[in-house]
Amino acid sequence: MGVSPDGIREGATTNDPATELGRASLTMGKPSSPVETLKITLSGAGGAKGKLLIEWENVTASTPFTVK
């Protein structure tokens, strides 16, 4: 997933590393039951660490992050 000022693009880059805000690999999975409405959750994991979780339909995508 690439993150740039003009949006998030899964599996893509901005083609200009100077404009990227960040980049992360996502761990893909399946929710225990279908998620009807897109859900994005940021949770703390202690200190400056956290987790991003995106859930929709029959897919979950997550990645840990550290705030610097």
Residue 1 has pLDDT above 60, yes or no: no
Q: Rounded distance, CA 3 to CA 19, Å?
A: 9
Per-residue pLDDT of 5-64, as tens digits, reads: 555 555 555 567 777 777 788 999 999 999 999 999 999 988 999 999 999 999 999 999
Contact 51, 45 (CB under 8 A): yes
Q: Rounded to two decimals, what is the model's pTM?
A: 0.67
Long-range contacts formed by 31-37: CB under 8 A, 24+ apart: 31/55, 31/58, 31/59, 31/60, 34/58
Confidence of residue 3 (pLDDT cuts 50, 70, 90): low
